[in-house]
Structure 1
Amino acid sequence: MNYSLRPLGDSAVVIQLGDAIATDTHEKVKKVTSFFEKNPQKWIIDIIPAFTTVTLYYDPMTILQKKKEKLPYEGVCSILSELLSHELEEDSTSARVIEIPVCYGGEYGPDLEEVAHIHGLSVEEVISKHTNGDYLVYMIGFAPGFPYVGGLDPDLATPRRKSPRLKIPAGSVGIAGDQTGVYPIETPGGWQLIGRTPLSLFQPDEETPSLLQAGDHIKFVSISEDEFKEMEGKS
């Protein structure tokens, strides 16, 4: 497996596994992440998978005790060269498909008509294209539980808003560039909002706070405003 290493500050190393957002690179990221999760290393503090990288935060003192290099980073590189020289097992975890109900347009999706206008589509066509996509969660970031999702129909790729909103309601579904995503908590943001889900994507009191995880597939399902309110009342 091809990779490169680079330092991140004085206590982290970035394992670079590709240069572009792609499913094959995502599979490498999953494979490396799964390896370290299944084979815990005392020197690793945290594992952060992203689009094309896996970042390992480490304890420098543990590294110095384990390896005799003058710098902890050199010791980490030596250890990783040993660990990653062998063929890693494929991640055997079955991909989950998570259905996310969305009420499109109106107060729930104030930018839906603008997105349709930009692309010369009807509102119905935008909704159809958005719900027919096969979406892969590449990573979680920006805000707790926020999924970075690939698979958006190129016909819907839309630039961010020129003026970001100071408050975006939790559950808002948006488009930015060639990605779509869901805001799990209220936060500022500049994505084009086309709808909202009544599902709670981030519950800090749960053992697994984030509903979505890297590697999940998302299926957006259009619902009515009445269905939205009914589901919201049960959540």
Structure 2
Amino acid sequence: MVPAPAFTLEPMGEDALLLRFGERIDAALNAQVHAAARALRDAALPGLEELVPAYASLLLRLDAATAADADRMSAMERRVRAVLDALAGGAEAPAGAAAARAIEIPVCYGGDFGPDLEDVAAHAGLDADAVIALHAAGDYRVAMLGFAPGFPYLLGLDPRLHAPRLATPRTRVPAGAVAIGGAQTGIYPRALPGGWRIVGRTPLALFDLAREPACLLAPGDRVRFRAIDAAAFARLAGDGA
């Protein structure tokens, strides 16, 4: 059960409100963010166009008519507070409320697919197979999408695998790279610069404009990794995974 949220509500620019639940990266705070997002989405408040979760905050983007009218803005703030007060009071989720999706991500670890795997293992005082086993055993949650379209910041990394970012970031990290940065793990959706330590690579396309929705993962999704070999990677990549 997600604890009752304590929050502040403040303007953000000309057409948005920001709900703050805290100031740190914390799984419990992030769970409150996603519980609030679900409650507000289910409430279908008039004038609320988009919800954008982050680690400890939730952005509420409003339509132009609401943003331009002080009375409508005040009414929106009251409605938002009422929804969250009901959540704090233990109100049941509406019938049909969507449960978090569970997504499996196949990953080929080590070698050319994960050039930093051995460094992560050395930092952890483990061998490479133990790092793979720990990483693939994690039950992760998409805390937020950011940095680039489709890039998931995943909470749930085993503390033994926490590793510092590279002192000098790479100018190009391949699409699908599965990497560790500090206490987080994530997946590069396309070729990008990056300083996280690459432990493997998935053949799945994390972001594809020809797909609906374009992002494979969404905030709040649960993620599990599954170790595969190079042959399976090639087969899945060839199938357009």
What's the TM-score once normalised by structure 2's chain length? 0.86
The reply to whether residue 206 of structure 1 matches residue 211 of structure 2 is yes
What's the secondary structure of 1:138's corresponding residue? strand
The reply to whether residue 44 of structure 1 matches residue 58 of structure 2 is no
Unmatched segments (≥5 aa) in structure 2: none
| Aligned with residue 103 of structure 1, among 85, 100, 108 | 108
Q: Does the CA contact (< 8 Å) of 1:63 and 1:76 recur in 2?
A: no
What's the secondary structure of 1:103's corresponding residue? strand
The reply to whether residue 90 of structure 1 matches residue 93 of structure 2 is yes
| Aligned with residue 27 of structure 1, among 31, 38, 52 | 31
Q: Does the CA contact (< 8 Å) of 1:126 and 1:156 recur in 2?
A: yes
Q: Does the CA contact (< 8 Å) of 2:43 and 2:83 recur in 1?
A: no
Deviation sequence 1:116-162 (CA, Å, 0-9, x none): 12222211111111111111111112111111111111111001101
What's the secondary structure of 2:85's corresponding residue? coil
Aligned to 1:140: 145
Cα 1:83/1:124, change in 2 over 3 Å:
closer
Alignment of 1:54-133 (within 5 A): 54-59=58-63, 61-63=65-67, 65=69, 67=71, 76-87=76-87, 88-90=91-93, 92-133=97-138
Cα 1:78/1:39, change in 2 over 3 Å:
closer
Q: CA RMSD in A?
A: 2.2
Residue 66 of structure 1 deviates from its aligned partner by 6.5
Aligned to 2:230: 225
Question: Within 1, Cα distance between the matches of 2:82 and 2:223?
Answer: 36
Q: Does the CA contact (< 8 Å) of 1:63 and 1:75 recur in 2?
A: no
Question: Within 2, Cα distance between the matches of 1:130 and 1:85?
Answer: 38
Q: Does the CA contact (< 8 Å) of 2:101 and 2:222 recur in 1?
A: yes
Identity, in percent, stands at: 39
Please say which of residues 209-218 and 79-88 is displaced more in the overlay: 79-88
Deviation sequence 1:191-230 (CA, Å, 0-9, x none): 0001101111112122211111122221111111111111
Unmatched segments (≥5 aa) in structure 1: none
Q: Does the CA contact (< 8 Å) of 1:135 and 1:217 recur in 2?
A: yes
Residue 28 of structure 1 deviates from its aligned partner by 2.3
Aligned pairs, how many?
Answer: 231
Residue 82 of structure 1 deviates from its aligned partner by 4.2
Aligned to 2:161: 156
Residue 97 of structure 1 deviates from its aligned partner by 2.0
Question: Within 2, Cα distance between the matches of 1:64 and 1:113?
Answer: 55
| Aligned with residue 187 of structure 1, among 189, 192, 216 | 192
What's the TM-score once normalised by structure 1's chain length? 0.88
Cα 1:161/1:30, change in 2 over 3 Å:
same
What's the secondary structure of 1:54's corresponding residue? strand
Question: Within 1, Cα distance between the matches of 2:65 and 2:239?
Answer: 50
Cα 1:84/1:166, change in 2 over 3 Å:
same
Letter in 2 for 1:28: Q
Residue 12 of structure 1 deviates from its aligned partner by 1.9
Deviation sequence 1:47-99 (CA, Å, 0-9, x none): 1111111111224643554618xxx5x56544433443333543742232211
Q: Does the CA contact (< 8 Å) of 2:39 and 2:84 recur in 1?
A: no
